[in-house]
């Protein structure tokens, strides 16, 4: 089982940049065929209120670049020895976006830089990689996570598109004095429940990839993300409470010791169901999805910068992170935080 224990490593900074175009669900209601009753129901039950996206041509790396630049206003970038980019929306199929970011940020040519293709569990997977590199001898790692989800959510897909927001976060991890414990799981038997069918080697892009297809009451193309909402909901409400109990047991931590449970912001109903099962409603923020949309791997850091930045900046905390989704994959960590640099969430500047 993939379990990891680390000591003497700190998260030093978390910065998140979101898209600069705000879209309210009322703005898209006609396009999706929603009447006023359905809009109100989705706002109340699922938390669909608004989301922030970028204009066409802006990449996840651009959002992460802005986040990283803000970190380097406070920290010495010459100390960075590795750059990890976690995303499903890279700049190109090849080369690695992380290596392009190395040059854009003016980082040393002596660093290691690589991409990881993960979505909603990507923040946890990225932290495990960053902590492992420092545990192996490096001193400083820059982790960049996020997605321009508007790139793969079709304008007529009423099941997926109203959920999705664009965001990119940068996280600085260095040698320090704190501990962290992580667990991670993968189950590829459910890969078809969240998938972009065409554009890879298995199903290369063709003329048919751009044809509109009606499925599950929505219209999309084969180059867009498909989501089986019922399967993803059942998966999340089953495995996430078990995951959280597992990482608490592994880290020898009582639930009462956790200051915040910061989970991937999939949708409000999933978060409410998990919080109720665990009886942690007062410690589990769930506003991100309603204001900024589902930010994929940036939703955990995005929640911190949007709603918890004062506490993360000024207090010692013990927090539990949990990400879950595409793959299927799910992971969690119990992490000690000690007054990090966590400014308020910022919009992308052209």
According to CATH, the superfamily of the domain at 1-350 is Thiolase/Chalcone synthase (3.40.47.10)
pTM of the entire predicted model: 0.96
- The model's pLDDT over 201-257, given as tens digits with 9 standing for 90+, comes to 999 999 999 999 998 888 999 999 999 999 999 999 999 999 999 999 999 999 999
155 given a catalytic annotation: no
64 given a catalytic annotation: no
Q: Report the candidate in 86, 90, 151 with the shortest Cα–Cα distance to residue 119.
A: 86
- The model's pLDDT over 287-310, given as tens digits with 9 standing for 90+, comes to 999 999 999 999 999 999 999 999
Place of tokens 């998938």: 195
Catalytic residue of the set 151, 294, 296, 305 = 294
123: Cα separation from own chain's centroid: 6
Phi, psi for 221 (deg, rounded to 5): -115, 170
Instruction: Break the chain into its structural domains and give their ranges.
Output: 1-350
Catalytic residue of the set 49, 144, 193, 264 = 264
For residue 273, count CB atoms less than 10 angstroms from its CB and return exposed for 0-12, middle for 13-18, buried for 19 or more: middle
120 given a catalytic annotation: yes
pLDDT band, very low/low/confident/very high, at 321 (cuts 50, 70, 90)? very high
Catalytic residue of the set 120, 144, 267, 309 = 120
Place of tokens 């929640």: 303
């Amino acid at each position: 089982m993939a379990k990891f224990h680390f000591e003497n490593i700190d998260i030093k900074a978390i910065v998140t940049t979101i898209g600069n175009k705000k879209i309210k669900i009322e703005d898209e209601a006609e396009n999706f065929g929603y009447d006023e009753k359905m809009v109100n129901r989705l706002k109340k039950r699922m938390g669909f209120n608004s989301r922030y996206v970028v204009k066409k041509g802006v990449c996840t790396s651009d959002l992460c670049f802005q986040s990283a630049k803000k970190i380097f206003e406070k920290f010495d970038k010459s100390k960075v020895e590795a750059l990890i980019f976690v995303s499903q929306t890279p700049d190109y199929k090849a080369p690695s976006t992380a290596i392009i970011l190395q040059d854009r940020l003016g980082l040393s040519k002596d660093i290691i830089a690589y991409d990881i293709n993960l979505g909603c569990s990507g923040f946890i997977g990225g932290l495990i990689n960053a902590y492992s590199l420092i545990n192996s001898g490096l001193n400083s790692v820059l982790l960049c996570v996020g997605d321009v989800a508007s790139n793969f959510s079709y304008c007529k897909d009423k099941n997926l598109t109203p959920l999705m927001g664009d965001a990119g976060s940068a996280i600085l991890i260095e040698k320090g004095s704190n501990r962290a414990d992580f667990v991670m799981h993968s189950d590829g038997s459910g890969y078809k429940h969240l998938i972009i069918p065409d554009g890879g080697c298995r199903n290369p892009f063709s003329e048919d990839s751009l044809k509109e297809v009606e499925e599950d009451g929505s219209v999309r193309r084969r180059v867009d993300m498909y989501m089986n909402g019922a399967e993803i909901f059942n998966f999340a409400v089953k495995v996430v409470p078990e995951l959280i109990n597992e990482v608490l047991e592994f880290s020898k931590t009582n639930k009462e010791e956790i200051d915040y449970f910061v989970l991937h912001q999939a949708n409000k109903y999933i978060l409410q169901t998990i919080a109720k099962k665990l009886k942690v409603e007062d410690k589990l923020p769930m506003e991100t999805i309603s204001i900024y949309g589902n930010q994929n791997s940036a939703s955990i850091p995005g929640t911190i910068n949007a709603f918890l930045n004062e506490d993360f900046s000024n207090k010692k905390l013990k927090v539990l992170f949990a990400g879950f989704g595409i793959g299927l994959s799910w992971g969690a960590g119990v992490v000690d935080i000690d007054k990090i640099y966590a400014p308020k969430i910022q919009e992308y500047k052209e």
